[in-house]
Structure 1
């Protein structure tokens, strides 16, 4: 009887592991249970749920952009710098013009430009995506410091709109990112571009030999990713106290990549569920939230624990691969 039960459980776990979308969702439920048991008086509150969704929103935006690049077999190190720079651009433009719509559109457009530049560097100049975007990481942060003069920009009250809540729990910004995630899902699952993205990550040379303009596909992916970083820049203002400083979103490129790994996106490209980065970002947000509620507020402790979890997730994800890029 015991043997039969063990085999049945193994079959269940095998079925779960075979479904990409269930891999990150089950740990999310597990973390919710852990948080509910360990800190029920803090975790199970409407205020904390709203905080979780607010923290998740800007991270999910840039993680989704990163996911698109990773699915093609590349990597993008600019999400954090691009998110911070577009947020600062929007803030400065609003302070000078008092035009909220113009500031938001400028941030989104700047994100597109940053992504397009990355795409040109990779496709036309044939620079490895790691090197090209590593340069972008440094350059856009430096430009951010230059145009801001190193000052904190505050009083960005129109961005409160993204914190307005449905039923006092769900922020408008979170609803925006859910709509975007649905659009990305539809693109990857049902469009020709989505099929090309996965095919490029699996075998770029075969895609080229089939007559597809692979460089154009790659350029479009980097550009769309840049748009997501710009959206992340817009959303992070509302979710971080209606203020921006030159170091806003510093290190978020690592959080974006970590979200992809935790969400089951294979770093070698070509494999991963379209919603993987979103659920990976949710996992990362939950881990951080629970650690803070437990009293582990020190940054280094959070990073060590998150790093250990990330190594475990990456090990499970890459198991069975003969080669890792």
Structure 2
């Protein structure tokens, strides 16, 4: 299958990335053209496809260690920059609750992929959740990082887990998001150069301007549906593993015990895993553990 058949219009040799892409060994960088969207896709490996959906304020580079480890086990790791983040460009900056879901479905169709494993973190888990509930035939197995299940019940102890949202809801272009990577969300300090690489995308004005609409129009409407019990009235059929860092102050084993009692009522096959020495930014704190847990779950789901 050639590049044009895949809907790919360019490679790293043909595209000038501005600002420059952070460095990560082993990846090929592609542009996938779909109606109204030019998706930057970082890919590594060959084999059964695994789709990685990054969090906010992150992009494909979040998976720089996890994706190659999974690719080394015989998978094709696909790490797109989602609408409004990274180096993906949209003709229309408008964002709605399911905009990214439609983007992902269109991307999978463009790549001729009927089914994929999905690994997601933070905001990317909203799209992964929508994909699993609304299009379960497209997902072989899912691994969701640092975000509770959509079928959780609400408890006063979960409120601190949303304390970071105001800085996104009221974000002003040009304002720093460095404090997102503070000790409240990390098991250990993150090197300044790593923070800079995560935030490099914000030098693109359209990405900086997308922080507020992504939060207000994409995340909050879905959070309201969760609060209203929408997903407790459905059944999750995709085998899903939920992974948390034991040092996560807001989403951890104790909190899951309060908000996810009797998961068998809402899902056919779920699993909860907890990683030592990791907090919310679990792919930076413990990438090897994340890769191992994902590979183990893919094998179990098969």
Q: TM-score scaled by structure 2?
A: 0.24
Which structure has greater helix proportion? 1
Which structure has greater strand proportion? 2
Q: TM-score scaled by structure 1?
A: 0.23
Larger RCO (alpha carbons 8 Å, 6+ apart): 1
For the pair shown, which has the larger CA radius of gyration, 1 or 2? Answer: 1
